[in-house]
Structure 1
Amino acid sequence: MSTITPEPKSAPEGVQPLSPDEEALVRTLNRVIYALPRALDAYMVREQRLPSIDYLTLMHLSEAPERQLRMSELASACEMSLSGMTRVVQKLEGQGFVQRVRCEEDARGWNAVLTDAGFARLEEAWPTQVAAVRRHFLDHLAGLDLKALAKALENVAT
Structure 2
Amino acid sequence: MTRRLAAALAIMGALLLGGCGNDYGIDQNGHKVAAERLDKQWLVLNYWAEWCSPCRTEIPQLNVLAEQLQGKNIGVFGVNFDNVQGEELKGASEKLGIKFTVLAQDPADLFELPRSEALPVTYIIDNKGKVREQLMGEQTAAGVMAKLEALQATN
Q: Which has the higher contact order (CA 8 A, sep 6+)?
A: 2
TM-score if structure 2 supplies the norm length?
A: 0.26
Q: Which has the larger radius of gyration?
A: 1
TM-score if structure 1 supplies the norm length?
A: 0.25
